[in-house]
Amino acid sequence: MTAPRRLALGAAALYLVTWVTSVAAVPLYGGSAFDAGAALAGRGSVLAAGLLEVVLALAVVGTALALYPLLRPHGPGAALGYAALRTLEATVILAGVVAILPAVARPASTAAPALDPGVVAGLHLVHDWTFLVGPGLVNPVNAVVLAVLLLRRRLVPRFVPLLGIVGAVLVAAMNVAVMFGVMTPQPALAVPLFAWEISLASVLAVRGIRPADGAPGRVPAPEAATAVGSPA
């Protein structure tokens, strides 16, 4: 198996990890990301959710690291921008984990932290905001950066990046509206962006990303033309 093929399969697998961990963490926290009035879940549930979000953050960065060598020949700036934005998204996610864990536990202890209820509510609120800013606002931006590159260079079937752009606009618009209190989160609006990642991961797993001209396994255009016109 070639290195590009391994990287594409690795990126697809890491996208799967991001879906599982992000979806599973929300109910373990008590569903706070979808219900502003939901109470924070118990100690064990929140600790499990925090651990899942740590894995999520690592997988988010991992997708960028796996895709970067494949994308760089097609657009170095966009490839670097995607990696940087994915890292930023992971950083915001980890900030939320660090904020919420003191509400339920102390390191190396099974005793309750005994924080004031107002402090716990504040930490809970910080975590909710990191969920909105990281996966809610930064993620759509990095999705557009990647989708535009894939679309312009025709690296995957056209419908895949178009789905990503539409999904990113819907999610970003929804979360800006949520930020200003115009509406409550509508999970259905995230379906196109979720479908974009599923479609992209499927393409990566099945066929990978088309290599750039001059990459191993491809004959540069001028040489190919010469080869076609030369006698046997």
pLDDT score for 211: 79
Over its C-alpha atoms, the chain yields an Rg (Å, rounded) of: 21
Angle, helix 3-29 to helix 191-206, in steps of 10 degrees = 150
Query: In the structure, what pLDDT confidence band is assigned to residue 35 with cuts at 50, 70 and 90?
Result: low
pLDDT score for 36: 62
pLDDT digits (tens, 9 = 90+) for 115-126: 999 999 999 999
Cα-based angle 130, 182, 131 (whole degrees, multiple of 5): 10
pLDDT digits (tens, 9 = 90+) for 48-102: 999 999 999 999 999 999 999 999 999 999 999 999 999 999 999 999 999 999 9
pLDDT score for 1: 77
Element spanning 197, H or E: helix 191-206
137: DSSP letter: I
154: DSSP letter: T
Displacement of CA 172 from its chain's centroid (Å): 14
Residue 150: count of CB within 10 angstroms of its CB: 25
pTM, two decimal places: 0.88
User: What is the average pLDDT across 165-186?
Assistant: 96
75's tokens = 């657009």
